[in-house]
Homo-oligomer: A and B are copies of this chain.
Amino acid sequence: MRAAIVASGSELVRGDRHDRNGPYLAADLLRRGVEPARITVVGDDPAELEAAFRAGLEEDLLVVSGGLGPTHDDRTVELLARAAGVGLRVDPELEAGVEELSRRVAARLNRPYADFAEGVRKQATLPVGAEWVGLVGTAPAVVLALGERVAVALPGPPRELQELWPRVCETEPLRRLLARGGVPRRRVLRLFGVSESAVAQALAAVGGDGHGVDVTICARDFEIHIDLFVQPGADARADEIERGFEAAAGQYVFSRDERTTAELVLELLRERGLTLGTAESCTGGLVAARLTDVPGASDVFHGSVVAYANDVKRDRLGVPEQVLSEHGAVSGEAAAAMARGARDSLGVDVAVAVTGIAGPSGGSAEKPVGLVYLHAAGPDGELARRLDFPGDRETIRLRATVAALHLVRRLVTKS
């Protein structure tokens, strides 16, 4: 079972915006047992769109995002119908639905509905034989069954697409199609502190993937994410492969599910009844931002002092002037004082501090760009790390952020 994904949008093909829909759909299709063959990003050029649709219709499933809007350069329905060799029709029920929404938009923008009428008719036009699902915005999802194959068109805004796609999967044509494929189970291993090549070697040592087990090894967010896609009946082989990873790098495994590291850290602290704060210099709030990205973080995470300037380190975190003058703001001593100061200042049980040189300037021979000190302090002890990260400013800041979260994890699990 194979699918082609077409993401349309001139801002996407011009690199003004990254396509989020293709990766979302690909990952979800894989979970549903459909292999994504390709993701094609095209603009609004009709010839490009039609060629991509024709190629996509040769797969079991074609999923298109974007091009369902009211303006002349939204051509997905027209060109999909042409590529599939079917005509067009206006769906009266859909037209009524889009009209109702558009009348509300017109009222809010204080514009006459007449400005919208042509666009409404356009958005209510479907390929003959297609059904629709919606509406989240003013565009519906369109499902067109073509014998054994199915073509789907979804609105481009990621929020609308992600709300409509699971509903599309419940339609009869998709249910029939998905029932034909076997759904592989996914096993997950997350590692930190080990190289991608060591993990790849461990896989090679147990004979590689295949025989019903597809393995992806991916360095992501400076962690190593291993996914095993296990076909029905291949569990014994998957166990063997997992044991190979365990033998080679078991001590680096920190998770066996898809939670983010921030979720995991918050959960570990929650279980132990501990609160958390951060003291950040070079990461400038990124550790706090990661933690507060998690809904419901507030029972564990209380706050942060972003101490970019030395006087903030001194006055708000109580870093002694002597530490700053003798060891510098980027030092293990400063990191330790920041972490202890954050515990006091924020009134939290555990605090992690980050100070370093993110570059591009500010480095020296003994303190080069990429040098980062981390310090975690809690009720039962402390942990310190000195790291030398390669890469640019963004990379160094992100690596330091991830490493800070892992240092908290290690402190509270004593691992």
Residues of chain A at the chain B interface (Cβ within 8 Å): 10-20, 22-28, 30, 36-43, 45, 48, 51-52, 55, 71, 109, 159, 195, 197-198, 200, 216, 218, 220, 225, 227, 275, 278, 280, 282-289, 291-293, 295-298, 301-309, 311-312, 315-316, 345-347, 358-361, 391-395, 397
Interface SS of A by simple majority = mixed
Q: Which residues of B contact A39 (CB under 8 A)?
A: 12-13, 19, 40-41
Find the B residue at minimum CB distance from A287: B285
Once bound together, how far apart are the Cα atoms of A284 and B25, in whole Å? 30
Q: Which residues of B contact A312 (CB under 8 A)?
A: 302-303, 346-347
Cβ distance A50 to chain B, nearest Cβ, rounded Å: 12
**Which residue of B30, B40, B295, B392 is within 8 Å of A41 (Cβ)?**
B40
Cβ distance A66 to chain B, nearest Cβ, rounded Å: 13
Cβ distance A370 to chain B, nearest Cβ, rounded Å: 13
A309-B303 in contact given A11-B218, A42-B38, A295-B359 (Cβ < 8 Å): yes
Contact across chains for B284 and A289 when beta carbons are under 8 A apart: yes
Copies of this polypeptide in the complex: 2
Cβ distance A18 to chain B, nearest Cβ, rounded Å: 5
Cβ distance A213 to chain B, nearest Cβ, rounded Å: 15
Q: Which residues of B contact A392 (CB under 8 A)?
A: 159
Once bound together, how far apart are the Cα atoms of A198 and B105, in whole Å? 13
**Which residue of B19, B48, B227, B285 is within 8 Å of A285 (Cβ)?**
B285
**Which residue of B45, B225, B287, B295 is within 8 Å of A16 (Cβ)?**
B225
Contact across chains for A17 and B295 when beta carbons are under 8 A apart: no
A14-B38 in contact given A304-B304, A309-B303 (Cβ < 8 Å): no
Other 12 A-B pairs with CB < 8 A, given A41-B41, A303-B307 = A13-B37, A14-B27, A14-B216, A18-B20, A18-B23, A36-B43, A38-B48, A109-B197, A284-B291, A298-B308, A312-B347, A316-B316
A38-B22 in contact given A295-B360, A306-B306, A394-B293 (Cβ < 8 Å): no
Contact across chains for B24 and A15 when beta carbons are under 8 A apart: yes
Once bound together, how far apart are the Cα atoms of A288 and B306, in whole Å? 8
Once bound together, how far apart are the Cα atoms of A302 and B359, in whole Å? 17
Q: Which residues of B contact A280 (CB under 8 A)?
A: 285
Contact across chains for B292 and A289 when beta carbons are under 8 A apart: no
Q: Which residues of B contact A14 (CB under 8 A)?
A: 26-27, 30, 36, 216
Once bound together, how far apart are the Cα atoms of A218 and B292, in whole Å? 28
Chosen A-B contacts, 9 in total, with CB atoms closer than 8 Å, are A14-B216, A51-B55, A284-B285, A284-B297, A285-B286, A288-B306, A289-B289, A303-B309, A316-B346
Contact across chains for A302 and B309 when beta carbons are under 8 A apart: yes
Find the B residue at minimum CB distance from A317: B303
Find the B residue at minimum CB distance from A8: B38
Once bound together, how far apart are the Cα atoms of A392 and B17, in whole Å? 20
Once bound together, how far apart are the Cα atoms of A51 and B56, in whole Å? 13
